[in-house]
Structure 1
């Protein structure tokens, strides 16, 4: 592995169930993550995914690639376009650094509206991965 290597993409269907389950699992009871009418009253066309669910999907993307023994050391992400039900998010990653048993990966998750999530993740790699 070296800087410039691209990770295989991960396609995530954005379902109503995923959005609601992610909000419940992270104890985010904001109505915009489970109540369509409340979301509409606040100006949103539908419920939308919370950042903690996005964070979990980014983590899954990296552990799927590097394996269950890798450790996420730093996750620095920013949200952009919302993830609404019925859309699809495609996660892509590019290794930007590899040194001393760690890798830094630039991650972008895009949906039909644009970039939903962008950021970097620092991962400790299992021995023999570098």
Structure 2
């Protein structure tokens, strides 16, 4: 891994099931993440994804690229445009810094209405046996 390396984009279909399951799995029972009527009453056209689900998807994106031995050291993300059912989020990443086995990756995720997530992930990738670094 080197500074400037680009990660392959990952397309994530945003389904109603993904949004609701992510909210339930993270114990986020706010009605805007599972009840379309309540979301509309609060000004949203539909339910939308919570930050914990987005955080998990960003983590998956990094470990899919760097492999199962990768260790997420720090995830610092901000949300923007909401992820709603029927859209697709495309995650992209660029390695910004490398220090030994640790890299800082700039990550962004865009959907049909704009930038859903942006931030950085610090990841450590242990060398594989026999690999010189």
Give the TM-score of the pair, scaled to structure 2: 0.95
In structure 1, the partner of 2:55 is 55
Q: How does 1:1-130 map to 2 (within 5 A)?
A: 1-127=1-127, 128=131
Distance 1:48 1:129 in 2: 45
Distance 1:6 1:48 in 2: 28
Distance 1:129 1:94 in 2: 23
What is the CA distance between 1:13 and its match in structure 2? 0.1
Q: Secondary structure at the match of 1:108?
A: strand
Closer, same or farther: CA 4–105 of 1 in aligned 2, 3 Å = same
1:40-80 C-alpha deviation (Å, 9 max, x unpaired) = 00000000000000000000000000001110000000000
Query: Runs of at least 4 residues of structure 1 off by over 4 A?
Result: none
Give the TM-score of the pair, scaled to structure 1: 0.98
Distance 1:129 1:80 in 2: 40
Q: Secondary structure at the match of 1:97?
A: strand
Equivalences, count = 130
What is the CA distance between 1:100 and its match in structure 2? 2.2
Closer, same or farther: CA 50–129 of 1 in aligned 2, 3 Å = farther
